[in-house]
Copies of this chain bind each other. A is one copy, B any other.
Amino acid sequence: MHAEPEVAVLRYGHRPGRDDRMTTHVGLTARALGADRVVFPDNAGQSKETVEDITDRFGGPFAVETTDAQKAFVRNWEGVVVHLTMYGERVQDVQDEVRAVHREEPVLVVVGGEKVPFEVYETADFNVGVTNQPHSEVAGLAVFLDRLFDGRELDREWESADRTVLPMETGKRVVDPSEADAMEMANGAKGDESGDGSADDV
């Protein structure tokens, strides 16, 4: 997340059709929660398009790439590899160590879809479980990133957006980014929350 070593997310495995939404959600979660880029298997072109489209509209920087060699991508990563798996060490036990390494080195977070080969468990510097319960790779990624960045990702600012959502108590308000900046300057950090609650969609 800028001025820090890079964080990339690799979605390992993708079944076109069946996994489209999950893979897209992995990419959007990576973007929203502070990663610098996501890498999809090369058969996930539809998810790539969706995440790029959101980045075009809501801002970046955020890169979306594909690879035709996932295992090699993990093996050749120059930095630390964190593989999220329900079989791994408890996130609460290893997060301090991972944060410390991230101050020095780029982090690759591997998020499994279909079965992840054992080689990935062996290559990873950390196999990490966000709980040792079966739930969702998207949920695991979200909690991991929030803890890796210690919440700093929530204050990230977005560049080159053509729309910005203003946080509101009730309703929906989407404005031009320059308008959002002007409101912030006029009203302090929280912005003007007197929107009309109209249901413009993003």
The chain A residues found within 8 Å of chain B, CB to CB, are 21-22, 25, 28-29, 31-33, 54, 58, 85-93, 118, 121-122, 124, 127, 129-136, 138-143, 146-147, 151, 153-155, 158, 164-173, 190, 197, 199, 202
Contacts of A122 in B (CB 8 A): 170
Which residue of B22, B136, B146 is within 8 Å of A146 (Cβ)?
Answer: B146
Query: DSSP class of A's interface residues: helix, strand, loop or mixed?
Result: mixed
Copies of this chain present: 2
In the complex formed, the residue of B with least CB distance to A138 is: B138
**Is the CB–CB distance between B136 and A170 below 8 Å?**
no
* Distance (whole angstroms) from the CB of A125 to the closest CB of chain B: 10
How near does chain B come to A56, taking the closest CB pair, in angstroms?
A: 12
Q: Is B121 touching A170 in the complex (CB atoms < 8 A)?
A: yes
